[in-house]
Structure 1
Amino acid sequence: MRSTNKKFISALACASAMTALAIVDPMGVTKTHQVAQAATDTVPAKSTGVDISSWQGTNLDQQAKSGAQFAVVKVSEGTNYQNPNAQGQIQSAEQNNMMTMGYHYTHFGSNSNQAVQEGNYAVNSAQQAGLPQGSYLATDWEQDANNNTNGSVAANTNAITSFMDTVHDGGYNPMLYSSEWLLKNKVDTNKISEKYPNALWVAKYKTNGREDNPDYNYFPSMDNVAIWQYTQNWRGQNVDGNVNVVPLSNKTTADNNDTSTNAANTNNSNANNGQSSSQAPANPIINNSNATAKPNNNNSTQPAQPTETKPAEKPSTTTNVNSDWTKQNGVFVTGGAINLRTGASTDSKVITQLPANSEVKYDAYRTIGQYTWLRQPRANNEYGYLVGRDNGQAWGTFKEGSATTAKPAETKPANKPAQPVNKPSTNTNANSDWTKQNGVFVTGGAINLRTGASTDSKVIAMLPT
């Protein structure tokens, strides 16, 4: 693809073939690796697939038997984390005749220089894990403590393109993953699609519960969508479910100049101009109430970096606050998009992405490392968790009487929302970590609402400013 608009089309060799690759890692050291070719290198449109991270095991037999035809494996995050299960997961996918792809959980935000560094790291990690050359390697770009999406649309787009260019130059087929809301509001997808057509992997859910099959009435109304992530609980297996709306093919990038077999652009207008029934409907119903961040894949928000605190156990789902949480009823208004997760950890699965200015009622808070987590009561005695503070800096606004919580050390994050306008009310029933307090917090920017008080917890929604 690139500026010459080349399109990748040829398939890889059979699974048993091995290709010697010269790899230049981010440190400039040239290495040679043997990379296995994919067992299956094409899937037709409307095939089902799953995306997985280190929180899933290395045996994908269950997913394959349930009908998954492709697997997108997390290979890396930032510049110092590699999924320890990636190689085994790729091998299991190939053994189950599933097409393999990869993704990298990004930290670069709108920084193009860092995007290039992460692109090199992702390519090196993918090669080390055995991801076949020519496979799709996506950037997972979403709002999180380590990835600030509040830069300008131009800066965000340039950084994402820099990552995708680096991935392309490394011999992989670039793709961009994010929520429908972020892609429509924070990224110039037209500019990206001019260079890399049909390279969008979009998350949008009909429901946060179990979904076995996609309901195309909720298909994201966007052009150039290649894959739609339509559920975080596919067939009750607590794994993200995806469907490709155009045919996909792993292929090498060096000798593919033919554009004739490339999948048709998924423009909505194409549906009324002979677009095949295998592609997404022309005018899907839009449900803006369920904005989703990358349901950080089965906790694919991925384990924290080796230097970070490992995700804590999910807090009790009963009405009794345990020794780690401080009871407090309050309202937090997000200052920007924030992930709502199933646990207080950035490794917890994303429930949804809360847009800016979302009001979140919480009943307890807890500080874990640099993050102060807010706990949102949900149906069936379950909870959602989102970050309210990062190193003491509020990611939104607490309404009067809500928690401000003790502020950890300084270190102010870039472009974070302003401090809460009100002091906390008198605490009641406080324990060692969480202080009971009712209040309302108004977000000063996009903030993720999570299922736990940790950036490793799943994102429930991104709250807008």
Structure 2
Amino acid sequence: MLKMVDVYSDSPRSYATLSYVDIVMVKATQGTSYVNPYCDTDYQHAKKAGKQRGIYHYAGGGNPESEAKYFYKNVKGYIGEAVPAVDWESYQNASWGNTTWVKRFVTEFHRLSGVWCLIYVQGSAISQVANCSKLCGLWVASYPSTNWKSWNVPNMKVNTYPWSVFTIWQFTGDDMDRNLVNTTLAGWKKLAKTDKSKPAKKSKSEWVKKNGTFTLGQSLEIHKSPHIESDSIAKLKKGDTIKFDATLQGPKRLWLRQPRANGTYGYIVARDKYNKPLGKIK
């Protein structure tokens, strides 16, 4: 297996060029307001030293699509040569325990970049990200002790279910985050490649300006973003009417945009994924 070290702003800068390490995974962003000031420094030093690279986002637990966009915006220059990952853990994570957050994040990042993220999670919390097992590789944290300050591989069982194997196993996290990578250098490079001819900069679907009213044919929610799993702003009942100023025909649903206070918007589904109308548009 390959050796990998993951680094962040407080790591010694020398970790990016350790002679016995094959891969350097660099923290890039957190939430929607933090960029690691040493990200590119460590990344470029690792690249110059002939190391394979990865870049990761630490989940802040805000809107997952917004965090995916923020991550992509700050790492798009590395796409195609560095393997992306999302770090899902409890510290400073407002959505810890949410079982849909990571799937929404990786789906949005894939839409933007054409690459599926690896998912970092502790072995005891894999159930929170299990719905990603057919999409993403697993980067599991499982330690033999809190004081295993060695590259000697511990003899222990590592939980990966429902993944059959791990892509990365982080087995120390005290003085250094030591990791074993279950692939070859060629395999790592393949994980970094996009599955599109070029990254998508925006969705093919576009908003169309159109004013009208929508009378609900059933109970529906108004969402913070045009995504069926995004947070709810309000719950409306059958017969309620809203005004809208734009429509979006997405790949599965027709969305209406509702102007709200202070220049904000709400979003409601007018036709479902089976093209069934959920109310009357006038």
Give the TM-score band, short-chain normalised. 0.5 to 0.7
Change (3 A) 1:85 1:166: same
What residue in structure 1 maps to residue 250 of structure 2?
Answer: none
**Is the contact made by 2:141 and 2:170 (CA closer than 8 Å) also made in structure 1?**
yes
Instruction: Kindly report which structure 2 residues correspond to 1:167-246, keeping only aligned pairs within 5 A, or say none.
Output: 167-171=109-113, 172-184=115-127, 186-187=128-129, 189=130, 191-196=131-136, 199-209=137-147, 210-222=149-161, 223=163, 224-233=165-174, 238-246=175-183
Residues 139-186 of structure 1 deviation map (CA, whole Å, 9 limit, x = unaligned):
1111124333234xxxx2x221111012212324311111011113x3
Identity of aligned residues (%): 22
For residues 196 and 36 of structure 2, what CA distance do their matches in structure 1 show? 28
The reply to whether residue 115 of structure 1 matches residue 115 of structure 2 is no
For residues 102 and 95 of structure 1, what CA distance do their matches in structure 2 show? 16
What residue in structure 1 maps to residue 196 of structure 2?
Answer: 254
How many residues are treated as equivalent by the alignment? 189
For residues 94 and 157 of structure 2, what CA distance do their matches in structure 1 show? 27
Residue type of the partner of 2:40?
Q
Aligned pair partner of 2:74 in 117, 121, 125: 125
Residues 436-460 of structure 1 deviation map (CA, whole Å, 9 limit, x = unaligned):
xxxxxxxxxxxxxxxxxxxxxxxxx
Aligned pair partner of 2:34 in 81, 97, 102: 81
For residues 213 and 117 of structure 1, what CA distance do their matches in structure 2 show? 40
Instruction: Kindly report which structure 2 residues correspond to 1:282-431, keeping only aligned pairs within 5 A, or say none.
Output: none
**Is the contact made by 1:115 and 1:163 (CA closer than 8 Å) also made in structure 2?**
yes
What residue in structure 2 maps to residue 55 of structure 1?
Answer: 10
What residue in structure 2 maps to residue 64 of structure 1?
Answer: 18
Instruction: Kindly report which structure 2 residues correspond to 1:153-168, keeping only aligned pairs within 5 A, or say none.
Output: 156=99, 158-168=100-110
**Is the contact made by 2:123 and 2:158 (CA closer than 8 Å) also made in structure 1?**
no
For residue 18 of structure 2, give the secondary structure of its aligned residue in structure 1: helix
Change (3 A) 1:132 1:145: closer
Q: Give unmatched runs, 5+ long, in structure 1.
A: 1-45, 257-465
For residues 136 and 173 of structure 1, what CA distance do their matches in structure 2 show? 9
Residue type of the partner of 1:56?
S
Change (3 A) 1:126 1:58: farther
For residue 213 of structure 1, give the secondary structure of its aligned residue in structure 2: coil
For residues 251 and 213 of structure 1, what CA distance do their matches in structure 2 show? 31
For residues 173 and 34 of structure 2, what CA distance do their matches in structure 1 show? 23
Which has a greater percent of helix?
A: 2
**Is the contact made by 2:64 and 2:101 (CA closer than 8 Å) also made in structure 1?**
yes
Change (3 A) 1:132 1:221: closer
Residue type of the partner of 1:168?
H
For residues 94 and 153 of structure 2, what CA distance do their matches in structure 1 show? 29
Q: Give unmatched runs, 5+ long, in structure 2.
A: 199-282
For residues 154 and 171 of structure 2, what CA distance do their matches in structure 1 show? 8
**Is the contact made by 1:226 and 1:246 (CA closer than 8 Å) also made in structure 2?**
yes
For residue 133 of structure 2, give the secondary structure of its aligned residue in structure 1: helix
**Is the contact made by 1:60 and 1:92 (CA closer than 8 Å) also made in structure 2?**
no
**Is the contact made by 1:135 and 1:173 (CA closer than 8 Å) also made in structure 2?**
no
For residues 79 and 177 of structure 2, what CA distance do their matches in structure 1 show? 22
For residues 220 and 251 of structure 1, what CA distance do their matches in structure 2 show? 27
What residue in structure 2 maps to residue 150 of structure 1?
Answer: 97
Residues 325-367 of structure 1 deviation map (CA, whole Å, 9 limit, x = unaligned):
xxxxxxxxxxxxxxxxxxxxxxxxxxxxxxxxxxxxxxxxxxx
Change (3 A) 1:195 1:173: closer
For residue 214 of structure 1, give the secondary structure of its aligned residue in structure 2: coil
**Is the contact made by 2:142 and 2:170 (CA closer than 8 Å) also made in structure 1?**
yes
Q: Which protein has greater RCO, CA pairs closer than 8 Å, 6+ apart?
A: 1
How far did 1:49 drift? 0.3
For residue 217 of structure 1, give the secondary structure of its aligned residue in structure 2: coil
- Report the aligned-residue RMSD: 2.1
